[in-house]
């Protein structure tokens, strides 16, 4: 079995830990029998331990203590009640219901588990730690802390973006990218809204209405294919130097960090052009886009008149 994990590498870490957990769980059932405790399921132990140590508890409180969901705890309680280990629907001093406690049978078993069995189990685990090169118990605590700070899913997502960013190149607009500039934006806008006259003003004539008026258009190439665009237009507003417009990323390239890389580069360009403050408009339904703008440093401002019907949020960035 170990050979397969040597071949798959660390991608199978979840499966490997699951098999180890299953092996320990299977052993636990046999160990309970060894101490004359018949029919006790290992999955009940966290609930059983809390009731032994802290006395009667609500299901909500037990769930908080052991980090399980309330439905999960409720199922365990019902199973334990059937074999006479716990009693539920007790009344506490403040008249709350659904308080759970150990029965006399449960108390007798808890003494066996938490005295004789617990002592032997702790000694065995300590001996195994001493025999091993690495302290598994401490390693598990470290991994739990690391995963609490950032999940494995999030870490791999970031690694994926980092790897794929090697294939992304941000370039200045050229005539050959005119159709991509329009199609990417049409696809983006039409997915959520209707195209408006102000959209076509810039998408049909980007050179005339953006570049020739002192603006800038950037194109993100992924493996040499245009997958993202954004632009700066010179404003006549005395408070803002440029407006960030027409940021769009192909659905095929979502999750590759293209939007963030485009945003960072367009801000850099704005600084090089001497800008001190940028402006943009969006819609709150576009949560990923609004979150991206926040990540880039933009903050929301009071809404002012807009040429777009769909705009319901406006933001600025001081450079």
- Stronger pLDDT, 83 or 6, i.e. the higher one: 83
* Dihedral angle computed from the Cα positions of residues 174, 177, 179 and 184, in that order, rounded to the nearest 10 degrees: -130
Q: Are 46 and 11 in contact (CB under 8 A)?
A: no
Rounded to 5°, the CA angle 81-106-117 comes to: 125
Is residue 115 very low, low, confident or very high in pLDDT (cuts 50, 70, 90)? Answer: confident
What distance in Å separates the CA atoms of residue 181 and residue 183, rounded to the nearest whole number? 6
Classify residue 72 as exposed, middle or buried by CB count within 10 Å of its CB (0-12, 13-18, 19+). middle
What distance in Å separates the CA atoms of residue 53 and residue 45, rounded to the nearest whole number? 12
Look at residues 221, 273, 219 and name the one whose alpha carbon lies nearest to residue 243: 273
Q: Residue 232 pLDDT more than 70? A: yes
Is residue 1 very low, low, confident or very high in pLDDT (cuts 50, 70, 90)? Answer: low
What distance in Å separates the CA atoms of residue 75 and residue 217, rounded to the nearest whole number? 59
240-277 pLDDT tens trace: 999 999 999 998 888 888 999 999 999 999 999 999 99
Rounded to 5°, the CA angle 245-251-255 comes to: 90
Q: Residue 95 pLDDT more than 70? A: no
Is residue 13 very low, low, confident or very high in pLDDT (cuts 50, 70, 90)? Answer: confident
pLDDT at residue 111, rounded to an integer: 87
Q: Residue 190 carries which DSSP code?
A: H
pLDDT at residue 154, rounded to an integer: 86
**What's this model's pTM, rounded to 2 decimal places?**
0.64
Q: Residue 131 carries which DSSP code?
A: H
**What percent of the chain clears pLDDT 90, i.e. is strictly above it?**
50
Look at residues 302, 307, 305 and name the one whose alpha carbon lies nearest to residue 316: 302
Average pLDDT over the chain reads: 89
Q: Residue 120 pLDDT more than 70? A: yes
DSSP-derived 3-state class of residue 232: strand
pLDDT at residue 261, rounded to an integer: 93
Residues 304-316, mean pLDDT to the nearest whole number: 88
Q: Which region, left, alpha or beta, applies to residue 98 given φ > 0 means left and ψ of -120 to 50 means alpha?
A: left
Strands 216-222 and 299-301: unpaired
168-194 pLDDT tens trace: 999 999 999 999 999 999 998 898 888
59-77 pLDDT tens trace: 889 999 998 899 999 999 9
Q: Residue 136 pLDDT more than 70? A: yes
Phi, psi dihedrals of residue 102, rounded to the nearest 5°: -75, 145
What distance in Å separates the CA atoms of residue 25 and residue 19, rounded to the nearest whole number? 10
Q: Residue 20 carries which DSSP code?
A: H
Question: What domains can you pick out in the chain, each with its CATH number?
Answer: 35-149 (1.10.10.10), 167-318 (3.40.630.30)
| Residue 220: strand pairing partners | 170, 228
Is residue 93 very low, low, confident or very high in pLDDT (cuts 50, 70, 90)? Answer: low
Is residue 90 very low, low, confident or very high in pLDDT (cuts 50, 70, 90)? Answer: low
């Amino acid at each position: 079995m170990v050979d397969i994990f040597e071949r798959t590498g660390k991608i199978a870490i979840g499966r490997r830990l699951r098999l180890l957990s299953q092996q320990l769980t299977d052993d636990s059932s046999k160990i309970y029998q060894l101490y004359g405790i018949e029919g006790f399921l290992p999955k009940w132990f966290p609930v059983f331990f809390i009731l032994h140590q802290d006395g009667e508890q609500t299901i909500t409180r037990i769930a908080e203590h052991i980090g399980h969901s309330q439905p999960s705890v409720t199922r365990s309680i019902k199973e334990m009640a059937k074999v006479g280990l716990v009693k539920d629907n007790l009344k506490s001093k403040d008249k709350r219901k659904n308080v759970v406690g150990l029965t006399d049978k449960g108390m007798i078993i808890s003494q066996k588990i938490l005295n004789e069995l617990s002592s032997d189990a702790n000694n065995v685990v300590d001996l195994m730690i001493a025999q091993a090169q690495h302290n598994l118990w401490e390693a598990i605590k470290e991994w739990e802390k690391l995963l609490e700070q950032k999940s494995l899913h999030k870490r791999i997502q970031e690694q994926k973006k980092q790897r794929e960013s090697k294939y992304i190149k941000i370039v200045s607009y050229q005539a050959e990218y005119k159709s991509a500039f329009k199609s990417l934006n049409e696809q983006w806008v039409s997915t959520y809204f209707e195209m408006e006259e102000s959209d076509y003003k810039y998408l049909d004539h980007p050179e005339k209405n953006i570049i020739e008026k002192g603006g800038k258009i950037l194109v993100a190439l992924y493996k040499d294919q245009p997958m993202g665009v954004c632009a700066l237009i010179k404003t006549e507003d005395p408070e803002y130097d440029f407006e960030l417009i027409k940021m769009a990323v192909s659905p095929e390239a979502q999750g590759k960090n293209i939007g963030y890389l485009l945003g960072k580069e367009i801000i850099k360009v704005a600084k090089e052009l001497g800008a001190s403050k940028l402006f943009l408009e969006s819609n709150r339904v576009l949560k990923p886009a609004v979150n991206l703008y926040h990540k880039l440093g933009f903050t929301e401002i009071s809404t002012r008149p807009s040429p777009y019907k769909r705009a319901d949020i406006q933001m600025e960035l001081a450079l």
